[in-house]
Amino acid sequence: MRQCVGCQEMKNKKEMIRVIRTSEGEFLLDATGRKNGRGAYICPNQECLKKAVKSKGLERSFKQAIPQKVYESLEKEMTELETR
C-alpha cells in the first residue's frame, strides 16, 4: 500500500503512477515500479494531480522543486490512461 501525494489515500501501488528521481536528479515516470530512485505515488486521475500541484505534494516528497515538464508528462500519461 502506498499513499497518494494528491488525495492522501492509501491504495495498492499497482493502481498508482510512480514518479521517481534518479541519482542524477532526473525525474521520470516509472510504469514498471522497478526502476531505481526515490519514488512518490499519485492516483491516475486529474483531480489527484490538481491536488498534488496545489498542495505541493511532489515537492514535499522529493524535498525539492519539481520541473513543470514532470507535471506535463503526468497529465499526458493520465489522459492516455483515461482513453483506454
Inter-residue contact 18 to 40 (CB < 8 Å): yes
pLDDT at 46: 93
Task: Using alpha carbons, list the distances in angstroms from residue 63 to 24, 25, 56, 58, 81.
Answer: 15, 12, 10, 8, 28
pLDDT at 53: 95
State pLDDT tens for residues 9-24: 999 999 999 999 999 9
Q: What is the pTM of this model?
A: 0.91
Looking only at the bridges linking them, the beta strands covering 38-42 and 17-21 are antiparallel
DSSP, collapsed to helix, strand or coil, labels residue 56 as coil
- Tell me the pLDDT of the chain (84 aa) as tens digits: 999 999 999 999 999 999 999 999 999 999 888 999 999 999 999 999 999 999 999 999 999 999 999 999 999 998 888 787
Q: Which helix (H) or strand (E) holds 42?
A: strand 38-42
End-to-end CA distance of the chain: 24
